[in-house]
Amino acid sequence: MNISLYGKEYFIPGNILNLLKQQDGQRVDNLIKNKKISYSLLKKMKSDIESGISDYGPEVKSWINSQLRNGREDVYDIKKSQMDIGMENRFLKPHSKDKNKNPTQTSGIDTKHKEFLREDKKVIRLTESQLKQIIENIIDEYETIK
């Protein structure tokens, strides 16, 4: 998304206005009256053309695509030249860390306890000494049964 392009308006050339006059609709009437179009409306018209909702013709489609491409390239060129003269990465959005959010744990493994799943899917956490005691008890029971 090119946020710096929102709010930008483009003048519609005469040949495109003549092609739009052949179309019906309030949107087209407003474009003909104002003789300019916003970036967001260019995007909307392109989306309508690609989804088959509207058909303004190949010349209008080509003009819309070239205006959008040129606008994006202009923003890219400005940011790239700013980086070339030594400014930090201009393509990254400025942000600050939200101190209110709880950081997520990197792993669900608890290193202090050994985990075992029972049939009912509950987790049993044991310390190493507890685990050793259980194993010793099992071995003792097994030996008494033998």
* Cα torsion angle, 98, 101, 107, 113, sign: positive
* Cα torsion angle, 75, 76, 79, 85, sign: negative
> β-strand 114-117 against 9-11: which pairing, if any?
unpaired
Give the model's pLDDT for residue 51: 92
For the chain, how are helix, strand and coil distributed in percent, rounded to 5? 55, 10, 35
Give the model's pLDDT for residue 87: 80
For residue 117, the cross-strand partners are 123
**Residue 111 scores a pLDDT above 60:** no
CA angle 75, 77, 80 (to 5 degrees): 110
Q: Which helix (H) or strand (E) holds 67?
A: helix 58-84
Give the model's pLDDT for residue 120: 56
Amino acid at 7: G
For the chain, the average pLDDT equals 82
**Residue 14 scores a pLDDT above 90:** yes
Tens digit of pLDDT for each residue in 43-52?
A: 999 999 999 8
**Residue 82 scores a pLDDT above 80:** yes
Tens digit of pLDDT for each residue in 25-41?
A: 899 999 999 999 999 99
pTM of the model: 0.59
Whether 49 and 61 have beta carbons less than 8 Å apart is answered as: yes
For residues 139 and 100, the model is more confident at 139
